[in-house]
Amino acid sequence: NAGVTQTPKFQVLKTGQSMTLQCAQDMNHEYMSWYRQDPGMGLRLIHYSVGAGITDQGEVPNGYNVSRSTTEDFPLRLLSAAPSQTSVYFCASSYSQGVYGYTFGSGTRLTVV
Amino acid sequence: DAKTTQPTSMDCAEGRAANLPCNHSTISGNEYVYWYRQIHSQGPQYIIHGLKNNETNEMASLIITEDRKSSTLILPHATLRDTAVYYCIVRVGSVAAGNKLTFGGGTRVLVKP
């Protein structure tokens, strides 16, 4: 039981490049979400999914795309990276929309130059 | 979700109990109190949650006042590994709540030898 696995752990991109941050969970959780955390700030919700085939926007969705083709995986795509997207990204999953708590991954530290 | 107020920081001696306060004076009847912590550079970790009764698990105890306007997270025997930012979050504990966790500033706890 690995919990929530995020890859890669670190990434440097050039402005305008695209990439996909991977998130996988093996707990059969219906709910998955992506947050970003900027220095000295709390987490902000980017996108979330309540089940396979269903996604929705969070607080800061611009510049990001998601899809949920399986229960296990919830990748986050950066369409055209910008320096403002330099951040630490966390994926989280939960049973029953977090009523019993969320499990977070260890994060992906992204730098856009 | 109701707003919470926590002290910015606090120190605690190793081996002693750490009592972390949280004010949530506008909490609604159907809102739960959740506690998470974030150890440096790691993803947030769920600790405990409660509605009106005091709760205890292997990590901590949660004491909620009778009027539910404030609560205290108790780490019974703090260790150096408990050094982290602790977040008190109030949210509706049902599937109708949506997928968002609102993280405020939290309390930065430093456990000293």
Task: Report which of A11, A41, A45, A7 is spatially closest to residue A25, judged by C-alpha positions.
Answer: A7
Judge whether B90 and B34 are in contact, CB under 8 Å. yes
The angle subtended at Cα A103 by Cα B24 and Cα B23, nearest 5°, is: 10
CA atoms within 13 A on the CB side of A21: 34
Mutate which: A97, A100, A103, A108, vs B, most B CBs within 10 A? A97
Q: E strands along B1-113, which residues?
A: 9-13, 18-23, 31-38, 45-50, 55-56, 61-64, 70-75, 84-92, 107-112
Residue B66: how many CB atoms within 10 A of its CB?
Answer: 6
Answer yes or no: is pLDDT of A61 > 60.
yes
Strand partners, A25: A4
Q: Which two tokens stand for residue B18?
A: 């750490």
For residue B102, the model assigns a pLDDT of: 77
Edge-first strand listing for the sheet containing A64-66: A4-7, A19-25, A76-78, A64-66
- Contact across the interface for B43 and A92, Cβ inside 8 Å: yes
Chain B residues inside the 8 Å CB shell of A49? 99
For residue A10, the model assigns a pLDDT of: 97
Chain A residues inside the 8 Å CB shell of B6? none
A17 to chain B, closest Cα gap in Å: 25
Residue B96: how many CB atoms within 10 A of its CB?
Answer: 8
Answer yes or no: is pLDDT of A97 > 80.
no
- Contact across the interface for B100 and A58, Cβ inside 8 Å: yes
Judge whether A56 and A31 are in contact, CB under 8 Å. no
The per-residue pLDDT string of chain B (113 residues; one tens digit each, 9 = 90 and over) reads: 668 999 999 999 999 999 999 999 999 888 889 999 999 889 999 999 999 989 999 999 999 999 999 999 999 999 999 999 999 998 876 555 555 677 888 999 999 99
- Tell me the residue length of chain B: 113
Answer yes or no: is pLDDT of A76 > 70.
yes
Q: Is residue A103 exposed (0-12), middle (13-18) or buried (19+ Cβ within 10 Å)?
A: buried
> How far apart are the C-alpha atoms of A98 and A92, rounded to whole Å?
10
For residue B29, the model assigns a pLDDT of: 87
Using DSSP bridges, classify how beta strands B107-112 and B9-13 pair: parallel, antiparallel or unpaired: parallel
Facing A43 at nearest CB: one of B42, B49, B103: B103
Edge-first strand listing for the sheet containing B55-56: B18-23, B70-75, B61-64, B55-56
Per-residue pLDDT band for A100 (boundaries 50, 70, 90) equals: confident
